Amino acid sequence: DRWITARFMQILQTVTHEMDHYELARASRPLREFVDDLSTWWLRRSRDRIKSDNEFERADALRTLREILQEFSKVLAPFIPFLAEKIYLEVGGQKMSVHLEKWPRLESRVLDEKLLGDMKWAREVVSRGHEARAAAKIAVRQALGQLTIRFAKEDEMKRLQKQEDLLLLIGDELNVEALVLEYVPGQTEVWTIELDTTITPELKRKGLRREFMRAVMNLRKEVGLQPHDRITLFISLSAGEARQAIESGQTDLAHEVKASGIEWMDAPTDARGKNEFKLDGQVCTIALK
């Protein structure tokens, strides 16, 4: 939340500067960047908070989203007036129109350059990690053992070692079990990464569970369920490694997909949704009720 707020202030500063100098084309460019920051990074990273059973956690995330969208709509107003108006009214703007609002005020105290720099670095690490996965033809849903980040400067490595939240974020985005930071004297690049692509039996089971969970979440979405809606999940899958993987993590799986119960049987006739797909080469059928 601190990052997206600081990022908005950074965008506001740039757009304001360019508009003051009548550079409207240059003023509009950062807006697209911020849409990407908000939707594909902050919102995706905050998805679990927004769907959380914890009322305060959920309210906190939604409040941040509402405040950011409300302020951002004011910045969008000169460029895309109708869409800005719709966003402003949808998130509960106080005035009859966004075009009656004053231009947002720049708050330098929340413009945390250090935080912005660290998050930019984290996103670059994640991007390189995804490239390494793509080169090895390993999907993100397949858990991997370790990502090693090597630094040319020891003080920078030690500083980032203390950024636990940032490192957890990188590990979660790349779906790796461990993140190791190393100092390499004489390294020419500022930092490099090495992704361990060895898939152990346990890592394979975790990957299968994640792939299965994704299928269930997609089915929930297809039938129009809300994040808080509870389900009974019906699974039809022959004995084998894929079934063992699901059974061994059944409790956590039920929590993640909001299932009050899991039944290993064919779908009932009154099921709300049904899907058949391949899981580790086996036909798996799931249904919701």
pLDDT along the chain (289 residues), means of 10: 92 94 92 92 87 83 93 95 95 92 88 90 94 94 94 93 91 94 92 94 92 92 87 89 90 89 84 88 90
Q: Which of 180, 199, 218 is the last residue of a domain?
A: 199
Question: How far apart, in whole angstroms, are the C-alpha atoms of residue 166 and residue 198?
Answer: 24
Same-domain check for residues 257 and 277 = yes
Same domain, 23 and 35: yes
What tokens does 8 get?
Answer: 């908005």
Please give the pLDDT value at position 51.
79
SS3 109: helix
Contacts of 98 (CB under 8 A, 6+ apart): 73, 74, 77, 84, 85, 87, 88, 89
Residues 134, 105 share a domain: no
Model pLDDT, residue 227: 80
pLDDT of residue 9: 94
Q: What is the pLDDT of residue 15?
A: 95
**pLDDT value of position 108:** 81
Q: Is 259 in the same domain as 206?
A: yes
Instruction: Identify whether residues 257 and 273 lie together within a single domain.
Output: yes
Secondary structure class of 34 (helix, strand, coil): helix
Same domain, 104 and 6: yes
Q: Do 61 and 87 share a structural domain?
A: yes
Give the list of residues 6+ apart from residue 8 with CB closer than 8 angstroms, or none: 34, 68, 71, 72
Residues 26 and 100 in one domain: yes
Please identify which residue in the block is written with the tokens 């998050």: 119
CATH code for the domain in which residue 98 is found: 1.10.730.10
Report d(CA 236, CA 250) in Å as an integer.
14
Claim to verify: residue 122 and residue 181 sit in the same structural domain: yes
The two three-digit tokens of residue 26, written as one number:
């240059």
Q: Of 181, 128, 180, 179, which Cα lies nearest the Cα of 153?
A: 181
Residues 89, 36 share a domain? yes
Length of the chain: 289
Residues 213 and 134 in one domain: no
- Its domain, for residue 93, covers 2-110
Considering the domain architecture, whether residues 167 and 155 belong to the same structural domain is answered as: yes
Is residue 123 within 8 Å of residue 173, measured between CB atoms?
no
Domain-terminating residue out of 110, 129, 164: 110
Q: Which of 110, 128, 145 is the last residue of a domain?
A: 110
Cβ 238 vs Cβ 282: under 8 Å: yes
As for how many domains the chain has, the answer is: 3
Residue 53 has a pLDDT of 75
Q: From CA 177, how far away is CA 197, in angstroms rounded?
A: 12
pLDDT of residue 123: 93
Model pLDDT, residue 272 = 83
